[in-house]
Amino acid sequence: MYTYKSGIAQIDEVSGGFDAATNILILAPPMSLGDQLAYALTKPLPGEYAIVLSTNERAAEVVDAFKLAGADKRFTGVIDAITKSSTPTIVDTPRLMFVSSPTDLTGIGIKFSNMIETIFEGEFSDGEAGLFPPPIRFCVNSISTLLMYRRLEVLYQFLHVLTAKLKKIEGVGVYLLNSESFDEKTLSLIKQLMTCVIEIKVEQNINFLRIRGITGVNGDWMKFQVTRGQVVILP
């Protein structure tokens, strides 16, 4: 089974990376490096694909962020739930798909399936590596935004289906959630869907992360930075 490199030495040296079918929750406060960490973990390595469900920024911004992080944009797809509300006539491409709004779970589910299918059929990009099943990193860049539009119970059921599908195709999922905007019940319900949780805190402008749920990985707080899509653990 495929192992996804995390780019974090503390994980990769102990377990080789994330096992296929791992779902990772990043719990991060606002103004932290949470989104950068999520993108760093989602950035496709050679032979891999990335799909971002963007509920808080336009596809173009996501693609730019991945490009800055050193990702090959030919292997990065975005399901954009923002742009269509202002540009209703926008047309899907194999790598950029649009849904009307973050409320549109039907559309999100369909575009997710379509994009996965495009990858499986080898029609996503040129120069495909041919691994089967194709390794896919999937990121929801804000569960918090989805929670603003849909009830927790509904979203839980929806994410349950999404995470299960990701497991079936042996992908890895990264889900970003604002740790300060939701109550304990919300956090614990979302955590139930995950296999690993990375918590972030910020003290005196320094970001710390703590990894839970990976056997053998130290659960202590560690200082970190993200530089050009690379996670650097600071001494």
Q: How far is the CB of 51 from another protein (least distance, A)?
A: 12
- Give the bridge partners for 223, in sequence order: 208
What secondary structure letter does DSSP report for 135? P
What are the DSSP calls for 9-71, one per residue?
A: HHHHHHHSSEETT-EEEEEE-TTSSHHHHHHHHHPPPTT-EEEEEESSS-HHHHHHHHHHTT-
Rounded Cα distance, 147 and 155, in Å? 7
Instruction: Output 67 or 168, the one with its CB closest to another protein.
Output: 168
DSSP state of 149: H
- Residues of this chain that bind another protein (CB under 8 A): 84-85, 88-89, 91, 100-101, 103-107, 109-110, 112-114, 116-117, 120, 150-151, 154, 157-158, 161-162, 165, 168-169
Residue 110 identity? I
Distance in Å, CB of 133 to another protein, minimum? 9
How far is 120 from 127, CA to CA, in rounded Å? 14
Q: Which one, 106 or 227, has the nearer CB to another protein?
A: 106
Nearer to another protein, 88 or 235 (CB): 88
The residue (of 73 and 165) whose beta carbon lies closer to another protein is 165
Q: Please list, in sequence order, all residues whose beta carbon lies within 8 angstroms of the beta carbon of residue 118, skipping any fewer than 6 positions away.
A: 77, 94, 124
Minimum distance from CB of 78 to another protein (Å)? Answer: 17
Q: Which one, 158 or 221, has the nearer CB to another protein?
A: 158
Please, what is the minimum distance in Å from the beta carbon of residue 108 to another protein?
9
Single-letter amino acid, residue 6? S
Q: How far is the CB of 191 from another protein (least distance, A)?
A: 19
